[in-house]
């Protein structure tokens, strides 16, 4: 069969392809109209062999880079990589929330299938490796997974601002949909107690500072960064530290309250973000100088704000993004993250839900598709788009298990949706996992193919 030239939608590059691109029906949520969306998958590319010569972490063993005993980030020939503790080039392919569920039904299934939590951890790490994943994301059972015979690389969410917010009381901060909400959308960056709280909270990180399997730390999840922050802080009560800080910033920069421009708003946003990242990065590195700082899991419109990425790049080793509402990763947007921060990025949440799961699928920000096969096609499509960008060093599918309808008092975004690679009773979604494995096990070969195409 003759090769033809196919536009790889997810990268903006032309690559040789064997088959025509496919289209699947997609909706934003139940009840909305399904529309056709293109997917570019491995079937559209020349055959790529399964990756060989990988080390214990899942990195490319040769040629070896400088080994430090811990993970770090390095740019090599125009592409960013994570370098693993043995000096291997590493792309972190993970699943978030790898945790046993807590309802009576889930506990009964765990006991029947795995006997106990240790048995679950052993089977689950094997399942992840078999599917081509090499790690876990936030909210995972790091303790038990770390005791399995074949470990996976893990990450920690320290939630410094969210933790400090709880000390201010429920009238100032409360748990929203997947993240902490703050009164007036004003996190307590300028509160004099935040710095000392962070230092104290991070002392516990000493326990993991020598662990080579730890990729690094997220400082918080989905904070409400916005160009409107200047006015939001100015609208606080007079005795609030945030308002005093905003007023002092205006005075120092000789800006009148009635003449605030968009440029001023961006400048204050960067000022606030730099203050935040300076505090949290110093606290983490004081306790653990060995591991990377992975950012604060930017989300929603925040991923379009350049000042945030500039600020994060000054203090973080990798910038983390929860990437929703994009069927195809946007090349210009990703390149903007890389340019503004000067650091690589890790996609820490994304997923699609399938109607054939039988779940209501009303919660969460992921796309809605018809089948598990469609979920697998979307996985390959989105991951190829990420790999095509030289700044991407990995991704975490959200999440391990479906929402459990029996659960009570859970986050409203995690009520009834097919997000997992397994059901809420630990039954694998085979068509999805098969598609994940097919791509995951060829990650490094695909990077080589895409980089050659780019040249």
Q: Which of 36, 64, 90 is the last residue of a domain?
A: 90
Segments of the chain scoring below 50 in pLDDT: 1-20
- Does residue 71 sit in the same domain as residue 178? no
pLDDT given at position 442:
98
CA dihedral defined by 338, 217, 155, 295, rounded to 10 degrees?
-30
Q: Which domain holds residue 418?
A: 21-53+91-454
pLDDT given at position 11:
44
pLDDT given at position 173:
73
- Does residue 150 sit in the same domain as residue 165? yes
Nearest-Å Rg of the Cα atoms of the chain is: 22
Number of structural domains in the chain: 2
pLDDT given at position 2:
27
- Does residue 192 sit in the same domain as residue 334? yes
Task: Say if 256 falls within a structural domain.
Answer: yes
Q: Is the dihedral of CA 340, 343, 344, 348 positive or negative?
A: negative
Alpha-carbon 116 to chain mean position: 29
Sequence-ordered alpha helix ranges (H) in 94-236: 104-114, 117-130, 142-145, 160-168, 192-202, 229-234
Bridge-based pairing of strands 319-322 and 345-349 is parallel
Q: How far apart are the first and last CA of the chain?
A: 25
Q: Which of 75, 90, 105 is the last residue of a domain?
A: 90
Report in angstroms the alpha-carbon separations of 276 from 82, 251, 314, 342, 448: 25, 21, 11, 18, 37
pLDDT given at position 178:
73
pLDDT given at position 9:
42
Closest CA to 277 of 262, 303, 301, 297: 297
CATH assignment at residue 371: 3.20.20.80
């Amino acid at each position: 069969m003759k090769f033809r030239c196919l536009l790889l939608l997810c990268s903006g590059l032309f690559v040789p392809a064997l088959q025509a691109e496919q289209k699947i029906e997609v909706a934003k949520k139940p009840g909305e109209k399904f529309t056709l969306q293109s997917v570019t998958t491995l079937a559209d590319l020349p055959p790529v062999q399964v990756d060989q010569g990988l080390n214990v972490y899942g990195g490319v063993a040769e040629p070896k880079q400088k080994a430090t005993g811990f993970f770090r980030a390095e740019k090599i020939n125009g592409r960013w990589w994570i370098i693993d503790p043995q000096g291997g080039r590493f792309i972190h392919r993970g699943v978030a929330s790898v945790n046993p569920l807590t309802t009576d039904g889930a506990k009964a299934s765990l006991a029947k299938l795995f006997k106990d939590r240790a048995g679950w951890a052993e089977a689950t790490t094997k399942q992840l490796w078999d599917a081509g994943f090499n790690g876990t994301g936030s909210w995972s059972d790091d303790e038990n997974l770390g005791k399995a015979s074949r470990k996976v690389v893990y990450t920690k969410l320290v939630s410094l601002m969210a933790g400090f917010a709880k000390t201010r009381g429920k009238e100032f901060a409360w748990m929203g949909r997947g993240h902490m909400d703050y009164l007036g959308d004003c996190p307590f960056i300028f509160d004099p107690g935040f710095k000392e709280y962070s230092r104290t909270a991070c002392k516990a990180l000493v326990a993991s500072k020598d662990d080579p399997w730890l990729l690094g730390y997220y400082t918080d999840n989905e904070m409400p960064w916005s160009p409107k922050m200047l006015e939001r802080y100015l609208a606080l009560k007079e005795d609030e530290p945030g308002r005093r800080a905003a007023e002092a910033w205006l005075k120092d920069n000789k800006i009148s309250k009635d003449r605030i421009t968009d440029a001023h708003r961006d400048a204050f946003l960067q000022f606030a973000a730099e203050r935040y990242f300076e505090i949290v990065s110093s606290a983490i590195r004081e306790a653990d100088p060995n591991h990377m700082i992975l950012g604060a899991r930017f989300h929603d419109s925040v991923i379009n704000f350049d000042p945030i990425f500039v600020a994060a790049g000054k203090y973080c080793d990798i910038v983390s993004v929860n990437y929703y509402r994009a069927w195809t990763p946007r090349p210009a947007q990703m390149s903007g993250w890389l340019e503004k921060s000067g650091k690589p990025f890790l996609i820490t949440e994304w997923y699609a839900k399938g109607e054939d799961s039988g779940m209501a699928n009303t919660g969460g920000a992921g796309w809605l598709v018809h089948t598990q096969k469609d979920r697998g096609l979307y996985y390959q499509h989105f991951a190829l788009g990420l790999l095509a960008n030289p700044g991407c060093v990995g991704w975490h599918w959200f999440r391990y298990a479906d929402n459990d309808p029996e659960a009570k008092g859970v986050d409203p975004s995690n009520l009834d949706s097919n997000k997992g690679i397994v059901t809420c009773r630990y039954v694998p979604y085979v068509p999805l996992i098969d598609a994940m494995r097919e791509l995951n096990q060829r990650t490094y070969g695909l990077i080589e193919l895409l980089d050659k195409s780019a040249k």
